[in-house]
Amino acid sequence: MIRTPYLLFLGDAHDQLAAKVAQGIQDWRPENVVGQLRMPGCKADVGAPDMTLEEAWNAGARTLVIGVANRGGVISESWLDVLVEAIGMGYDLASGLHNLLRNEPRLAEAATGSGAALHDVRLPTVSYPIASGARRTGKRCLAVGTDCSVGKMYTGLAMDAEMRNRGLKSTFRPTGQTGILITGHGVPLDAVVADFMSGAVEWLTPDNDPDHWDHIEGQGSLWHLSFSGVTMALIHGGQPDALILAHEPTRTHLRGLPDHALPSLEALRDMALPLARIANPDCVVAGISINTKALDDEAAARLCAEVEDRMGLPTTDPYRHGAGKLVDALEAIG
Amino acid sequence: MIRTPYLLFLGDAHDQLAAKVAQGIQDWRPENVVGQLRMPGCKADVGAPDMTLEEAWNAGARTLVIGVANRGGVISESWLDVLVEAIGMGYDLASGLHNLLRNEPRLAEAATGSGAALHDVRLPTVSYPIASGARRTGKRCLAVGTDCSVGKMYTGLAMDAEMRNRGLKSTFRPTGQTGILITGHGVPLDAVVADFMSGAVEWLTPDNDPDHWDHIEGQGSLWHLSFSGVTMALIHGGQPDALILAHEPTRTHLRGLPDHALPSLEALRDMALPLARIANPDCVVAGISINTKALDDEAAARLCAEVEDRMGLPTTDPYRHGAGKLVDALEAIG
């Protein structure tokens, strides 16, 4: 667990997109955010109050979260000065960068001195068990995509937020570094050793109240040759009661695989559901999430209506239009 | 690569089954074996000449392979004396034990002194790439099982042996520790980090002659909730041209999962083939391998005939009856 609340470190972000991790935290867990720290030249702003390390500490912040992607994966000297100062004041650090905090000698030394935790959320910190396959109490929902990076995380976050708004029992269960930084816990599934992937998902989604829903962050795609094994482990370790099909309509080929076309939503349904029913015979496809970011309002609404009609399943862009339809579908399951 | 030929270390094996790794090497790669080393009390014999360390060294052995499973995973003191002596003479060591050679202080120290390699084949030694999904030249065959441990490795080894007997181009590609010790190379897939599983299989089965067959060692099962992600990575990283369905007819439930029944061969075919065709649209199911070890001769022959008739696919126990039928099917593919 990462100590909250956070001060979001935006560094010298060269554009808004570079701060998308910080933006995700601010969008989905504003209650975890005290403020943002921007260095000279920073071109991003996630809408949190600008604060110094000291102001944020006095406002309660206990972890400085690296909410920015740096060029080339290097943690620059100018960043290091700020991070070392933060450690000296008592902050923990958290990062999803490929370059690990613990491998920066200045940070490691400062942390040894202060007792600060350096959370490199790309690395597992738990010895996950081998999956038992035993059924668990509580309900689970998993988004499966026609491709990687089609909005599965945002789908889960939006459904979780909608359920909590309705007073329902719900938890978002992150399986990637951005999700882990947003909520402060989770499993970095792509870094887990093969034999323990499915067990890590079981560990992440334990027994719960019969009317509690876990929204498990999806990864990869059954069609994505590089990462389909991770998707499979989510389907079998998660034992979902409900699948959401996730799609981005303007994608011309699988991400990073120019020779491979995306499947249709029908093909995704017909492949994912039988696989899911191996783990949970009661699993259903509950709805469809379309990432309409590249479309204008009219085209987005028209596409969702067309897909809903064609597939006979509640269809929405949960980020643009809200996750109400999808949550309605889960409520109908029980 | 592990240096060959081997001296097989049987230690004080408490029964024949404890030496099954050594037996596998002797059965499938006798040309890699100079002899066996048995300590007082050893109750196993894999049929290789008994030799001392010195006799085997003079006969050309360069690696002492731990071909025995020890009780409780501990490397006993009596073993260590022999292993240290071997290192001192110039041998490398190779082991698939959970307890790593490198973590035994006496072995690590001796190896530092002599420059010996300590091959712990459960651990990856390569930084595998992320899978590219690009099609590769050459042909590939993968056994997929109704469960774990139904004979997929022996199926691949038997098909490879039969192809080489026929003068065809063929390579067995191990993905587990026993297979790696048998051939001296491979990928310990269950220990590879999730993001790189599929890429590790691509790395293992690179471009080859158009008429060359890789026999990729299968792992897990699409039905086995603990390990199905590994199976998926083999199907998509391997891009097989041919699948062999592997089955053990007396299994009453999935290994280690008492509440989960095995699928039918029909269900396995109908799930595995569409998944394989995502990677390779030309993939076919070429035949069926039945592990009839628990059946008498008549029952074994009858079952294979029944399955062949029912499924319309060449069916055999490749270990008991030879892999000829399965290789015939691959030759028909091209």
Q: Which residue has the tokens 């090497």?
A: B25
Q: What three-state secondary structure class fits A140?
A: strand
Specify the pLDDT at position B75. 84
- CB pair distance less than 8 Å for A275 and B130: no
Which residue from A minimizes the CA distance to B274? A271
Q: CB contact, 8 Å: A269 with chain B? A: no
- CB pair distance less than 8 Å for A257 and B193: no
User: What are the b/e assignments for B167-188, b being 16+ CB within 10 Å?
Assistant: eeebbbbbbbbbbbbbbbebbb
pLDDT above 90 (res B76)? no
Which of B 34-63 lie inside 8 A of A, CB atoms? none
Residue of A195, A260, A279 with shortest CB distance to B225: A279
pLDDT band for position B63 (50/70/90)? very high
Which of A 276-315 lie inside 8 A of B, CB atoms? 278-279
- CB pair distance less than 8 Å for B228 and A231: no
Alpha-carbon torsion (A201, A206, A209, A210), positive or negative: positive
β-sheet with A212-216: strand ranges across: A169-173, A212-216, A139-145, A242-247, A284-290, A315-316
Which residue from B minimizes the CA distance to A198? B226
Task: List CB contacts (< 8 A) between A132 and chain B.
Answer: 226, 257
- CB pair distance less than 8 Å for B197 and A194: yes
Averaged confidence pLDDT in chain B: 96
Please list the alpha-helical segments (H only) found in chain A. Answer: 20-28, 53-58, 77-89, 105-114, 152-165, 177-183, 197-204, 228-238, 265-279, 297-311, 324-333
Task: List CB contacts (< 8 A) between A254 and chain B.
Answer: 133
Alpha-carbon torsion (A182, A184, A190, A196), positive or negative: negative
Angstrom distances, CA of residue B67 to CA of B36, B148, B177 = 9, 22, 11
Give the best residue of B192, B227, B254, B270 to mutate against chain A (max A CB count within 10 A).
Answer: B227
Mean of pLDDT values over B155-174: 98
- CB pair distance less than 8 Å for B229 and A254: no
Q: CB contact, 8 Å: B122 with chain A? A: no
Q: Which residues contact A35 (CB under 8 A, 6 or more apart)?
A: A7, A8, A48, A49, A50, A51, A55, A56, A59, A61
- CB pair distance less than 8 Å for B197 and A130: no
Closest CA to B244 of B140, B139, B143: B143
CA A260 to CA A264: how far, in whole Å? 13
CA B326 to CA B317: how far, in whole Å? 10
pLDDT in tens, A160-202: 999 999 999 999 999 999 999 999 999 999 999 999 999 999 9
CA A148 to CA A145: how far, in whole Å? 7
Angstrom distances, CA of residue A179 to CA of A152, A216, A325, B93, B319 = 11, 10, 23, 43, 49
Specify the pLDDT at position B68. 92
Lowest mean pLDDT among A71-75, B49-53, B125-129: A71-75
CA A102 to CA A99: how far, in whole Å? 9
Q: How far is CA B198 from the centre of its chain?
A: 18
Percent of chain B with pLDDT over 70: 99
- CB pair distance less than 8 Å for A194 and B193: yes
Task: List CB contacts (< 8 A) between A263 and chain B.
Answer: 278
CA B218 to CA B143: how far, in whole Å? 5
Alpha-carbon torsion (A307, A309, A312, A315), positive or negative: positive
Which pair of structure tokens corresponds to residue B285?
A: 């199911």
Closest CA to B79 of B89, B63, B68: B68
pLDDT above 70 (res A85)? yes
User: Phi and psi dihedrals of A192, rounded to 5?
Assistant: -85, 145
CB B276 within 8 A of CB B234: no
Task: List CB contacts (< 8 A) between B274 and chain A.
Answer: 271
Task: List CB contacts (< 8 A) between A144 and chain B.
Answer: none
Percent of chain A with pLDDT over 90: 95
Mean of pLDDT values over B258-268: 96
CA A190 to CA A62: how far, in whole Å? 27
Specify the pLDDT at position A73. 65
Task: List CB contacts (< 8 A) between A193 and chain B.
Answer: 190-194
pLDDT band for position B73 (50/70/90)? low
- CB pair distance less than 8 Å for A236 and B225: yes
Q: How many CB atoms lie within 10 A of CB A154?
A: 24
Q: Which residue has the tokens 């011309």?
A: A252
Mean of pLDDT values over B319-333: 97
Lowest mean pLDDT among A66-75, B159-168, B172-181: A66-75
Mean of pLDDT values over A88-107: 95
Q: What three-state secondary structure class fits B292?
A: coil
CB B151 within 8 A of CB B321: no
Closest CA to B219 of A149, A229, A208, A222: A229
In sequence order, what E strands does B99-226 have? 118-120, 139-145, 169-173, 212-216
Q: CB contact, 8 Å: B272 with chain A? A: no
- CB pair distance less than 8 Å for A259 and B226: no
pLDDT above 90 (res A69)? no
Q: At what angle do helices B265-279 and B297-311 cross, to 10 degrees?
A: 60
Lowest mean pLDDT among A54-58, A287-291, B72-76: B72-76
Q: Which domains does chain A have, with CATH numbers?
A: 6-120 (3.40.50.720), 139-332 (3.40.50.300)
- CB pair distance less than 8 Å for A230 and B130: no
Closest CA to B266 of B313, B215, B331: B313
pLDDT above 90 (res A56)? yes
Specify the pLDDT at position A313. 98
Residue of A134, A229, A257 with shortest CB distance to B194: A229
Residue of A191, A195, A260 with shortest CB distance to B133: A260
Q: CB contact, 8 Å: B187 with chain A? A: no
Residue of B133, B194, B222 with shortest CB distance to A197: B194
Per DSSP, the residues of A73-128 read G---HHHHHHHHHHHHHT-EEEE--SS-GGGSHHHHHHHHHHT--EEETTS--S-P
Q: CB contact, 8 Å: A130 with chain B? A: yes
The residue type of A5 is P
CA B286 to CA B242: how far, in whole Å? 6
pLDDT above 90 (res B334)? no
Closest CA to B314 of B264, B243, B214, B212: B243
